Amino acid sequence: MQRRWDIFCTIIDNFGDIGVCWRLARQLTQDHHQTVRLWVDDLASFSCIAPDVNPEIQRQVVQGIEICHWQCMPAEIMPAEVVIEAFACELPDVYVAALLQRKKQPVWINLEYLSAEPWVTQCHGLPSPHPSLPLIKTFFFPGFVQGTGGLLREKNLIAQRSAFSTIAECEFLQRKGLLARKPGEIRISLFCYDTAPVTKLIRILFESSKPVLLIVPEGSAAGSIASLLNNSSSQTGKLIQHGQLTVQIIPFMEQTDYDRLLWSCDFNFVRGEDSFVRAQWAGSPFIWNIYPQAEGAHWKKLDAFLDLYTANMPEDMADAVREIGACWNGKYEINSAIWLNFLFFRESITQHNKSWVRQLFEQVDLASSLVKFAENRL
Ligand code: TRH
């Protein structure tokens, strides 16, 4: 049934919150024919991943989704039938007051961050009564296993991925002004936090026996690479050459183009939540820079994911994956041997990723889980 959905997103830092909400909004609209209104508190950041969004316009329709700035919520707001509060952002008081006026309780979902930790299956779907009002929220946890809400995955993902032939890749590279593929070259995309040992990686890549193209979106990693290579500017479009290594600094891409960038690379360094999931759909070996949390809470999260992901790998391959993951997140120092060991397993990791994706496909995707959950409640 076509329902009305309100998704609320505050952009705390970075792009993960809006990245997830934007994908979810598009999947609910395109795959499930739902009517979606997306409330965002920072349209300028949003427009970095969705350039069709005009940060000057407080209320606009993009790809069939009504996008509203939080500030433009009228006092007489009519709430939707399904309300998603993304990542525990707090709904505006006026909206909560309007929810109370509804004859039928809305389906109010608190969409949580992604984690592979075992407790997620116990908390997914738990009710959370409002402390003072007769309203109930439900915790919805994305995840990698049955008993969670699943992962964001559009219906035509596999079809699109398979249609990304060599010709489609060449067209994409050309359209984005990216260097064409050279024979024998290793292509790497690099998206990471400031804490990642980028300069160490660059020194390792200098020594590569094969040509390496490192594609880096503009930002602080690009800046530190440019200064390491004695290049005064990290302006976009810039090519920096050092031995076998070429670095191409690129502007931030529209989200679906970023997905294609991941498809076109042999290795993807990704971070946070959304690019991390997209690297898994892309299928090439990936290295995850996890969002650092207070008191090292992210280590458990990293281990929980690696436990699941490496479960069916031979031991030496699992060790290589674990080792580079630990180093990239700052547990030990990364060095050439660790990188070369990971590189050695390139083909087998790619094969493993195919079965990993098949395993993930056995789960219902997040948007479908949400639609089903809402429909059962309404
Ligand atoms: O930006 P992030 O670091 O987001 C993080 C995480 O979500 C983290 O869990 C959360 O706590 C924190 O934000 C607040 O990384 P993430 O999750 O990969 O999101 C980046 C988004 O940006 C993703 O949707 C992909 C998109 N993107 C583009 O659209 N174009 C680009 O060129 C690049 C590099 C990314």
Measured CA angle at 115 (ends 130, 256), to 5 deg: 100
Position 213, amino acid: L
What does the pLDDT look like over 156-184, one tens digit per residue?
A: 999 999 999 999 999 999 999 999 999 99
The pLDDT of residue 240 is: 87
The pTM (predicted TM-score) of the whole model is: 0.96
H helix runs in the chain, sequence order: 16-30, 43-49, 93-101, 119-123, 157-162, 166-175, 198-206, 220-228, 255-264, 274-282, 297-310, 315-328, 336-344, 346-361, 366-377
What does the pLDDT look like over 289-305, one tens digit per residue?
A: 999 998 888 999 999 99
Q: Whose CA is nearest to atom 2 of ligand 1?
A: 16
Q: 129-159: b or e for each residue (b if 16 or more CB lie within 10 Å)?
A: eeeeeebebbbbbbbbeeebbbbbbbeebee
The pLDDT of residue 235 is: 64
The pLDDT of residue 243 is: 85
The pLDDT of residue 100 is: 92
Q: Which of 9, 11, 12, 14 to mutate to test the pocket of ligand 1 (most atoms within 8 A of CB)?
A: 14
Position 191, amino acid: F
Q: Whose CA is nearest to atom 4 of ligand 1?
A: 16
Catalytic choice (6, 17, 81, 85): 17
What is the set of domains in the chain, with CATH numbers?
Answer: 4-151+364-377 (3.40.50), 157-361 (3.40.50.2000)
Q: Whose CA is nearest to atom 5 of ligand 1?
A: 16
The alpha carbon torsion through 45, 49, 51, 57 (nearest 10 deg) reads: -40
280 Cβ inside 6 Å of ligand 1:
no
- State the distance from the centre of ligand 1 to the C-alpha of 251, rounded, in angstroms: 15
Which atom of ligand 1 is least distant from the CA of 50? 29
Q: Whose CA is nearest to atom 16 of ligand 1?
A: 16
| CA dist list (Å): 273 to 157, 255, 291, 323, 339 | 18, 14, 8, 20, 23
Q: Which of 42, 53, 274, 305 to mutate to test the pocket of ligand 1 (most atoms within 8 A of CB)?
A: 274
The pLDDT of residue 237 is: 62
The pLDDT of residue 196 is: 96
Residue ranges, the chain, pLDDT below 70:
231-237
The pLDDT of residue 11 is: 87
What does the pLDDT look like over 110-135, one tens digit per residue?
A: 999 999 999 999 999 999 998 889 99
Is 90 assigned a catalytic role?
no
39 Cβ inside 6 Å of ligand 1:
no
Position 154, amino acid: E
